[in-house]
Every structure is written in C-alpha cells, then in structure tokens.
Amino acid sequence: MKHLTTPMLLLLGVSLLFPKIGYSQQAELDAYYEKAAAFQDNGQWDEAAQVYNLLLDFNPMMDKARFNRGYCHLQSGRYVSAKADFEQVLLKNQYDFEALEMHGLACFYNGEFGNAIQDFSAILEKQDNPNVYLYRARTYLRIGDADAAFFDIQNCLEFGGSQTGEIAWIYGEIMMARKQYPMAIDQFLTAGRSGIKNPYMDYNLGLAYYQVGQIDKSISHLEASNQVLPTSASFAQLALAKIKKGELEEAKSLAVKAVGMDWQNPTAYYANGMACLHLNQYEQAVEKLNKAVVMEPENAEFYYQRAVANARLGNRISAQLDCQKALVIDPNKTEASNLYASIGK
C-alpha cells in the first residue's frame, strides 16, 4: 500500500466535499483546484482559501495556488496574510508585476502607504499601467499629496483608463485637498450618479457644502453620514453646521459626542469651543479651544477663536497674543488683524 503523507490525509479528509473525477492523485488535485477556483469565482473567499491551504500543504511549490490564496486573503480583509503570500511569489520572480500590484494593494489597505507607493512605483518604472496609476493616486491622497495624485490620475486617463465614477471620486478628493470646493461637489455628485457607493460620500459633500455656505445641504448630508458611518469627524462637522444655523444647544451636544468618540480629534474640541463661545460660555470656550490648539498648533482659526473668547473675558493680553500667533500662521487672516487693532484701542 502506498504510504500516505499528512498533507494527503488532509486532502482525503475533505474528499467527501468534492466530487472525484478519477483515481489518480493528479486528477484529485485538479478537482480540488477547480473547486477552489469555483469558490473564488463566486466570491466565497474563505472557502476558496481553505482549499488552497490544502493544496499548498500538499505542494508548497504551487505558485498559482499561493497567488490565488493571497488574492482571497486580500478580498477577505486579511491583509497581512495576503502580503505574506504575494511576498513568497515575488521571491521566485521579482518581475511578477501582477503579484507586485496585489502586494501594493495589501499594503495600502493595511495602512502601509509608503510600501504601497514603492510597489506601485516599481511597476510604473517598467510599464504604464492605468490601474496602477489609479492605485498610486489613491495612496498619495492618503499621505496628503494631492498634486502627485492629480498627476497620476492624468496619467491613468492618458494610458487607457476610463473616466469612471471612481476617478471622479478621486478628483473630488483632490479638489477637497486643494480647497476647490465647488469643483469637489461636482465630482462627488458625478461619482454618485455613476453608481459609486462610498460611505464617505455624504461626509465629503457635507463638508464641501459647509465650505461654500450651503448650510442646509451640509446638514442634510452630514446627518445622512452619521446614519451610515458615524464618526467623531462627522459629528464635529455637523456641530459646526448647526452653529451656523443658530441651533446652539444641539451643536454643543453633538460636539460633546464627537469628543467622546475620539478625544484626540482637535476639530471636536474646536466645535465644542465654538458652541460654548456662541452660548456666551466664554471660560468653557477657552478651555475647549486650548485643547484644540495643543493638538493642532498650526491652525490659525483655532488661535483666532480663542482670541475672541479671551477678549470677551477681558483677557486683553492673551487675546492679543492669540491674534499675533494666528497672523504668524496666516498673515492674510484679516479678522485677526481687526480684532488685534480693536483690542489695542
């Protein structure tokens, strides 16, 4: 009798799950591979990965099975496992650009943006791939480089990419980073009409409408955002929009909730401070704005609003110092100049 190894026993242990197509070992392996591929085609990523596990236990040299298992891990959100599989494939062939692309995506979703850019750049040094330009553009946005993202999207379109809803979405994010809010709104709406279902859609539209002064639309989208994806940022922004509408008590309640959701979010403290300021609770306003300033010391608006609160309390020197700090950061902040001048009279 032929000796059965442990991996073969594992295969035989699940043989009842799959129809046999013959008695030979290769035929049975082929049947398992076909079953894994069928699971994968149906989006049953976990089931497919389990079968690929068995195949790789039997023969660790099956690079196609390893690549496919990595892809299943990627689709299931197991990014570290996906990276490990693609790295094994790349050890044998560093020019396997498909594996390098998938490795870059796994790094992106795992928050390793520098590694993702490195992978995508290595591919683009050898070939102009519109999908990879798109992926790198998304990654550049995550590190705040809107200009590099814009350049990559232009290349994506130049080298065969289609003007899809996803590209419109990325253009919208680029316009947000550039503070070109009307253009951002147009791009996000285009993305929505194209069928893009992004949980951040309402939040981004709410923020953009706030910046152009369309407060009712801003509130509508931010409230929708809080139903789909409640975050400290969305509650803080909704609080600021409510302040613009004069709904101050509700604004303060929203801001307090934003702080509770993320005590490291400076905008949450800013929104809380602004609500207190408009409620004439000046000492509380200074307290909350102090925290915002500590967390984000390069924000001129935070200093200016704290100057307003200090001025209302009669703290003239503190108010003047805050105005000066605001003007160092933003010399064109005329409201800080005007407040400083009025305090000195």
Q: Which residues contact 326 (CB under 8 A, 6 or more apart)?
A: 300, 301, 303, 304, 307, 333, 336
The residue extents of the domains of the chain are 1-127, 297-345
Q: Is the pLDDT of residue 290 over 80?
A: yes
Confidence (pTM) = 0.77
**138/13: higher pLDDT:** 138
CA dist 208 and 225 (Å) reads 13
Across 123-132, average pLDDT: 95
Residue pLDDT, tens place only, 181-217:
999 999 999 999 988 888 889 999 999 999 999 999 9
Residue-level pLDDT at 161: 80
CATH topology of domain 1-127: 1.25.40
pLDDT-wise least confident of 9-18, 129-138, 204-213: 9-18
Our separate counts of H helices and E strands in the chain read: 20, 0
Residue-level pLDDT at 345: 62
Residue-level pLDDT at 149: 96
Across 113-135, average pLDDT: 96
- 3-class DSSP state for residue 82? helix
What count of residues does the chain have? 345
CA dist 187 and 202 (Å) reads 13
Residue-level pLDDT at 2: 45
- Name the pLDDT band for 269 (thresholds 50, 70, 90): very high
Q: Is the pLDDT of residue 256 over 80?
A: yes
CA dist 154 and 152 (Å) reads 5
Residue pLDDT, tens place only, 24-63:
677 878 888 899 999 999 999 999 999 999 999 888 898 9
- Name the pLDDT band for 291 (thresholds 50, 70, 90): very high
Residues 192, 211: contact at Cβ < 8 Å?
A: no
